[in-house]
Amino acid sequence: MHAKPHPDSTRRLRWLLALPKLGVVLLLAAVVALLWLLHQNEIEEERAGLIKDVLWLEQNLRFHLGNNEELLQQLAYDLGNQADKKQLFRLRANHLLKNNPDMMQITWFDQKQQVIDALPMAPSIDHELDAFGPPVTQKAIELAGRLGKRVYSEPFFLSGNGAHFSLAVPVFADQQLSSMLVVTYAIDSLLNDQVPWWFAEKYRVVVIDDNEVQFGAKSSIEGVPSLTYELPFDPPGYGLKFRVTAYQAPGNPLQRILAGAILVLATGVFWSLWIVRDLMKKRARAEEALRAEHALRSAMEDSLTVGMRARDLTGRIIYVNPAFCRMTGFSSDELVGRSPPMPYWVPEQFNETMAMHQAVLAGEAPADGFEMTFQRKNGERFQALIYEAPLIDGHGHHTGWMASVLDVTERRKAEELARQQQEQLQFTSRLVTMGEMASTLAHELNQPLSAIASYNAGCINLLAQADHNPADIRQALEKLGVQAQRAGRIIRRVHDFVRKSEPKRAPCALSEIVEDCIGFVEPEARKRHVQLVTTLPDLPPVAADRLMLEQVLLNLIRNGMEAMASTARELRILGVSANVSGNEVVVAITDNGTGIAPEIRDKLFTAFTTTKPEGMGVGLSICRSIVEFHRGRLWAEPHTDSPTGSGTIFKFTLPLEPS
Ligand code: ADP
């Protein structure tokens, strides 16, 4: 059965499921935000570190170049004022070159820009100076001469030796510009010398100008650039700048592991939530189905008209249904938990009820149910038909007894009424039979009465004679008495037959009953020219209600006689026989009549089935119920050996009294 989920519980479930999900999402968001903040912080720190380092580098270079400037300025001063100039130049220049590997050359020009001296004395440099250096260096020299102070040149490339720049320092003698000192720096060497190893480990330093032309670089790492910072490279200026690029650090492995773990855990939580959600959904569905099932069961229980009562193995009531409560008038609370004696037991039948109760608990209750009188709360009695069955739980354990209880009071009343009606019908039928037989009985009665009258007249005549013989009178009176008895018997039989009495079975001799019946129908048989033949062996007594059995026999005998109305007179023979078969007596009433009309054969024993114009059609149905009341059977067979070729044998059985 498919149960539709209750909208309320679905909403509640959705809420229940949404809360942890929301929690996990928020937690995840918080963790991600935290990681992002940490990362941001790191970048910030990195950036601050970078700026600090770059500033340091810039300052270092400025300091280095400034220091050299000072030394050169000193040399220029000394060259202007001292005598042995060449010697001095050589000494100092050598010293400078030795201490500064980035200085490629120190040249001393005179006023006409002719080289006075140069260190180191590399002709190629001279040549280079002539070829490439002069334009920018010359400009610097001119500017320095004009301004009377040191001036840096623009950077320039020397083929094969990379980028360089120069510094021109004017030499004054007696306040007059006398000559010019020019120092050429190689940018790569400058970087190599001045950028320390730890800096190169962390950053890549590039010297570029505004047009992104690269003049020098230093780095000992490779990888993905992350942060960059630029700072003017001044001196020498001219738009030169450092570009320092930080490389992505390999990252903190612990942090990565942590982030990974958080991710894995979050996925795990989501996954488990998913499973829990599934489980909860399944559970909700099952609960819903169970609820629907339970509702159906309760509805079924409530609408049951059969009382249900469950007891545990000790006989204590553990459940009663509404029908049982209605039946007994006690509420479920008053009954559940009760042990015997139960409030609905009838006090005066306590012992029998208790015995039955014990039998049920011992598992000996009759399987086809038993009847018991119970008492309602208002004291009213009712007849209960009870079926007991073992109560087996889901694990197959026997945990008690389940009873279904039917209030059969009304049914029993109806049965009693039907029985009474049937009896009334039998009685009526007897009256009808009587009425039908009245004329023949009157004729029958006439015989003894007229005999009595004639004996009486005879006696009077005899008495009138003087010499009458008393013996004759006695004889006549005796005969008269016999006739009177005969008449009395007829009257008694009629009286007996129509008397209404409760059926009671008692041992009686079948032959006597048959004889009585024969005596009863004889007058009618004579009138109908029917010969009655009885074949009765010595039979043991049968337990029967004499009157009822007589009614059956009379009915069957009269039916047989009536069926032979059109049979040849000499063949109108009606046989009544009986014989013992097993533990019962079979009585047969045989006629040579017309046989059962085919149209009524199937409903022969149904009431109001008749082919006779004045017939009531209840005779056979009454016969059958009487025979069944005696625990026997009644049926009809065709009389196959009949001399007329047709005829019927009605047979009924009666159980023999066990001796
Ligand atoms: P009724 O005699 O009032 O008709 P019964 O119940 O005694 O009612 O009989 C029902 C019918 O059964 C009769 O009308 C008759 O047709 C048929 N019947 C009964 N006994 C015999 C019989 N011995 N032979 C033929 N028909 C019979």
Nearest CA to ligand 1 atom 7: 619
ω into residue 236 within 30 of 0, thus cis? Answer: yes
Residue 637 pLDDT greater than 90, yes or no: yes
Binding site membership of 43 for ligand 1 (Cβ less than 6 Å): no
Residues 603 and 619 in one domain: yes
How far does the centroid of ligand 1 lie from the alpha carbon of residue 584, in Å? 26
pLDDT(657) > 50: yes
Query: Quick one: 516 and 606 in the same domain?
Result: yes
What pLDDT, on a 0 to 100 scale, did the predictor assign at position 128? 44
Strand order in the sheet with 573-581: 531-535, 573-581, 584-590, 648-655, 634-638
* Contact criterion met (CB below 8 Å) for 321 and 417: no
- Please check whether residue 28 lies inside any domain of the structure: no
CATH number at residue 369: 3.30.450.20
Give distance in angstroms: CA of 85 to centre of ligand 1.
177
Which CATH number goes with the domain that contains 430?
A: 1.10.287
Residue 114 falls inside a structural domain: yes
CA of residue 654 to ligand 1 center, whole Å: 22
Length of the chain: 659
Closest ligand 1 atom number to CA of residue 607:
6
Report how far ligand 1's centroid is from the alpha carbon of 70 (Å).
161
Q: How do residues 33-63 score in pLDDT, each as one tens digit?
A: 888 898 888 888 888 888 888 888 888 888 9
**Can you give the CATH number for the domain in which 603 is found?**
3.30.565.10
Q: Which residues contact 209 (CB under 8 A, 6 or more apart)?
A: 155, 215, 238, 239, 240, 241
How remote is the CA of residue 418 from the centroid of ligand 1, in Å?
24
Are residues 78 and 174 located together in one domain of the fold?
A: yes
| Same domain membership, residue 403 and residue 439 | no
In the reported structure, the alpha carbon of residue 608 is separated from the centroid of ligand 1 by a whole-number distance in angstroms of 10
Q: Decide: 607 in ligand 1 pocket, CB within 6 A.
A: no
- 383-393 tens-digit pLDDT: 999 999 999 98
Residue 216 beta carbon below 6 angstroms from any ligand 1 atom? no
From the CB of 597, is ligand 1 less than 6 Å away? yes
Residue 457 falls inside a structural domain:
yes
Rounded distance from Cα 595 to ligand 1 centre (Å):
9
Of 419, 446, 433, 576, which is closest to residue 494 (Cα–Cα)?
433
If you measure from the C-alpha of residue 49 to the centroid of ligand 1, how many angstroms do you get, rounded to a whole number?
131
Best probe residue, ligand 1, of 620, 622, 637 (max atoms within 8 Å of C-beta): 620
Does 549 lie in the same domain as 524? Answer: yes
Query: Mean pLDDT in the chain?
Result: 84
In a domain, 242, yes or no: yes
DSSP element (H, E) containing 166: strand 162-173
Amino acid 132: pLDDT: 39
Based on the domain organization, do 226 and 353 belong to the same domain?
Answer: no
Q: Which atom of ligand 1 is nearest to the CA of 647?
A: 24
- 395 CA to middle of ligand 1, Å? 62
Residue 207 lies in a domain: yes
Domain boundary at 383, 407, 431, which? 407
- 550-596 per-position pLDDT tens digit: 889 989 999 999 999 999 999 999 999 999 998 899 999 999 999 99
Residue nearest to atom 23 of ligand 1 (CA): 560
- Give the domain-ending residue among 247, 273, 294: 247
Q: Is the CB of 563 under 6 A from ligand 1?
A: yes
Distance 313 CA to ligand 1 centre (A): 59
Q: Bridge partners of 384?
A: 372, 407
Parent domain of 462:
409-500
Q: Which two tokens stand for residue 575?
A: 């046989």
Q: Are residues 557 and 484 in the same domain?
A: no
Residue 273 lies in a domain: no
The number of distinct structural domains making up the chain is: 4
Asked if residue 24 is part of any domain, the answer here is: no
**Does residue 205 share a domain with residue 70?**
yes
Q: Which atom of ligand 1 is nearest to the CA of 589?
A: 23
Say yes or no: 116 and 215 in one domain: yes
590 lines ligand 1 (CB under 6 A): no
Residue 4 inside a domain? The answer is: no
Residue nearest to atom 21 of ligand 1 (CA): 559
The protein residue with its alpha carbon nearest to ligand 1, atom 11, reads 610
- Token output for 610: 């008749």
Query: Which of 144-148, 563-567, 600-604 has the weakest average pLDDT?
Result: 144-148
Residue scoring higher pLDDT (443 or 51):
51
The answer, yes or no, to whether residue 163 has pLDDT greater than 90, is no
Please identify, by atom number, the ligand 1 atom nearest to the C-alpha of residue 610.
Answer: 14
Residues 331 and 477 in one domain: no
- The 3 state secondary structure assigned to 167-219 is EEEEEEECCEEEEEEEEEEEHHHHHHHHCCHHHHHHEEEEEECCCCCEEEEEC
Same domain for 473 and 621: no
Q: Side chain identity at 220, as an amino acid letter?
A: S
- Taking the CA atoms of the chain, what radius of gyration do you get in angstroms? 71
380-430 pLDDT, tens digit per residue, is: 999 999 999 999 988 989 999 999 998 888 888 998 898 888 888 777 877
Question: Do residue 515 and residue 635 come from a single domain?
Answer: yes
Domain boundary residue among 364, 392, 407? 407
CA distance 119 to 110: 15
